[in-house]
Amino acid sequence: MNENFKYKMELTDEEVAILHGSEGETMAKVMKTLVLYGDAFSAKRFVPVTGMGHLVTSFGISVLKPVFSIMDELINAGLKVDEKFTVDPRPIDYANVKCNPLQKIVFNKVLYGMQAPYEKQLNALGLKNANAFTCASYFDEVGNKPKKGDVLSWAESSAVVYANSVLGARCNRNSGIIELFGSILGKVPEFDLLTDEGRKAKWIIEVKTEKIPEAQVLGSAIGMKVMEDVPYVKGLDKWIGTELNDDAKAYLKDFGAATASNGAVGLYHIENLPPEAVELGESLINDDAKTYVIDDAELERVYKNYPVMWKDKNAAPKLCFIGCPHLSFAQLGEWAQRFDKEMKAQGKDKVGIRTIMTTAPDVLEKFRRENRADYDKLIGFGIKLTSICPLMYMNNPLCGGDTSNVITCSNKLRTYTTARYFTTDDITKIAVKGGF
Amino acid sequence: MSKTFKGRPIVAGTIDKGEAVVSHNGVNTLATFQKTALLHDIPIIGKDEVIGSDQNNPDVFGKVLTNKVLCLPQTIGSTTGGMVLYTVSALNMAPSAMLFSQPIDSLAAAGVILADVWTDNTIVAVDSLGEEFLASVKDGDKISVSEDGTVTVE
């Protein structure tokens, strides 16, 4: 098959044979898809994938029947990912994120009625294990942390930008399904962020604030300005240091997720911090790079301009989501201390609104096991810990509609739902107080 | 008076006087398509056409996108983007064409290619049409597309 298919990539004899059906009709379609994808970006060749996979599609949402059909076709053809993969978070967890009967009917019968069969499909195709559901697969606890220079076939915008920018791996902003195809083939077309040239910055960002910028607002401002281009950020090391410690990694995780969701950033460079920027410095900047200066006033302008999608903009918040992307082990401890301080300041012992924090299943187990004091503190405050995806939860119109009045400190969640964004400090005060 | 622009066909096809919907900013595929597309199967509120739902993009917010010619610089946002485009195409809810002023981005490319290879439908896609294309074309303009990537705006 595909004998009359015209392409520009330079394929090996083995790749041509696959395209023509040597490994079956389905694999030939997988190959054709990836060749067309490579041709769209003038990729010359395929390069081997050297790290474990990560898929963006974790939810058995009924309308994705066409996706399930592809999965079935792959499974029936005997295809799978030999190196295993992790996947984004599950959408629901009734034990920790309680729902009323009507909300459950929508989740079970309408939205995520295909969750169980879909997870069977994921297992058949090579899912790492039952705990592999997180958007932050690169956490040490999860076990899918690429090395510098690894070539990946990942989707999930926040994970791709982290792997590229903080870990120095090489991965394009692949779409769902494409990332699975690359993992099955074990090869991806070489273009853009897989090349030295594609990793050069087209923007210089000069951070000139008087205090540490809120990670999610800074990322949002940069994402909206540079869109898909690579930014080289100067002046941030003044605030987050030059050591890639837990605090810096957590900051960059949240910063990067905002650049990727408010724009389409797949890679950023932070002067003097991640290994690639330390090693190559300003040689990573294109000669004709444009400059964007960010001061406190600019961040305030961006923050104040987020639209409020609540039906009643003066209504009291009903639900607070913290942890999109999933919180790291260190961040869980920091949130415990932050809430502890605010509880004392307000003379309270419980949060004033329903508050849910999300993290990876493996991180949650470790937190419960190794930082019991902070775990008990959060639980004692009435805060629930779970591993769901808040965005997928809010897809239920009864949980995320414009009268659900959800607040969040995630700019990604704000972008895709009716959730209203507040900074870390503001949301802590509001959650404890139970209102504005 | 009509204007003609030449781009690069990513998924070649023809369109005869399709109706333009124009976004001057990047179209966030998940945010734009999810509300109506992902709720497609819900009784009563589910719809058979996509209505743009991205609160951050007034150019497409609240507008019908199904069977329209979507004119845009690129797509942005979540990496579910290509999968969402593929799905709305398989469900016959996609735009008939996507015309990009800039080179196509990886998520949109995935979506139109997946639709082309894995469904019986096609989202005609032409990229690199240039800034003047996006500056010229207006909502409601009639747009024709040729196999070779020639786009005519009336």
Nearest to A40 among B38, B43, B109 (CB): B109
- The answer on pLDDT for B40 being more than 80 is no
How far does A392 lie from chain B, in Å, by closest CA? 11
Percent of chain A exceeding pLDDT 90 equals 93
- Ordered by where they begin, the domains of chain A are 13-194 (3.30.499), 199-304 (no CATH), 319-433 (3.30.499.10)
Give me the pLDDT at residue A9, please. Answer: 98
Give me the pLDDT at residue B43, please. Answer: 67
DSSP symbols for A31-88? HHHHHHHHHHTT---EEE--S-EEES-----GGGHHHHHHHHHHHHTT---TT-EEEP
C-alpha distances (whole Å) from A58 to each of A132, B33, B42, B47, B153 are 10, 18, 20, 24, 41
C-alpha distances (whole Å) from A422 to each of A250, A312, A338, B141 are 18, 17, 15, 40
Contact of B92 with chain A, judged by CB distance below 8 Å, is answered with no
For residue range A219-237, list pLDDT tens digits in order: 999 999 998 899 999 999 9
How far does A136 lie from chain B, in Å, by closest CA? 14
pLDDT tier, B42 (very low <50, low <70, confident <90, very high otherwise) = low
Residues B88 and B33 sit within 8 Å (Cβ to Cβ): yes
Average pLDDT over residues A122-135: 98
What is d(CA B92, CA A6) in angstroms, rounded to the nearest whole number? Answer: 27
Give me the pLDDT at residue B38, please. Answer: 64
- b/e string for B21-46 if b means 16 or more Cβ within 10 A? bbbebbbbbbbbbbbbbbbbbbeeee
Cβ distance B38 to A33 less than 8 Å, yes or no, reads: no
- The answer on pLDDT for A20 being more than 80 is yes
For residue range A36-65, list pLDDT tens digits in order: 999 999 999 999 999 999 999 999 988 889
Give me the pLDDT at residue A64, please. Answer: 87
Give me the pLDDT at residue B1, please. Answer: 81
DSSP, collapsed to helix, strand or coil, labels residue A264 as coil
Q: Which of A167-171, A373-377, A412-416 has the lowest mean pLDDT?
A: A412-416
Cβ distance B80 to A110 less than 8 Å, yes or no, reads: no
How far does A174 lie from chain B, in Å, by closest CA? 6
* Mean pLDDT score of chain B: 93
C-alpha distances (whole Å) from A434 to each of A343, A351, A355, A393, A408 are 12, 7, 10, 21, 14
Indicate which CATH number applies to the domain containing B9: 3.50.30.10
The whole domain housing B19 covers 3-153
Strands A201-207 and A285-294, how do they pair? Answer: parallel
For residue range A337-391, list pLDDT tens digits in order: 999 999 999 999 999 999 999 999 999 999 999 999 999 999 999 999 999 999 9
What is d(CA A146, CA A132) in angstroms, rounded to the nearest whole number? Answer: 15
Give me the pLDDT at residue A209, please. Answer: 98
Q: Which pTM was predicted?
A: 0.94
Cβ distance A111 to B34 less than 8 Å, yes or no, reads: no
Which of A42, A59, A63, A222 to mutate to test binding with chain B, by most B CBs within 10 Å of its CB? A63
Average pLDDT over residues A296-302: 98
Q: How many domains, in total, are found in chain B?
A: 1
The type of residue at A348 is K
User: Could you give the angle at which helices B106-118 and A178-185 cross, rounded to 10 degrees?
Assistant: 80
**How many C-beta atoms surround the C-beta of residue A250 within 10 A?**
19
Average pLDDT over residues A132-150: 98
Instruction: Report cis status (omega within 30 of 0) of the bond before B58.
Output: no
Residues A390 and A358 sit within 8 Å (Cβ to Cβ): yes
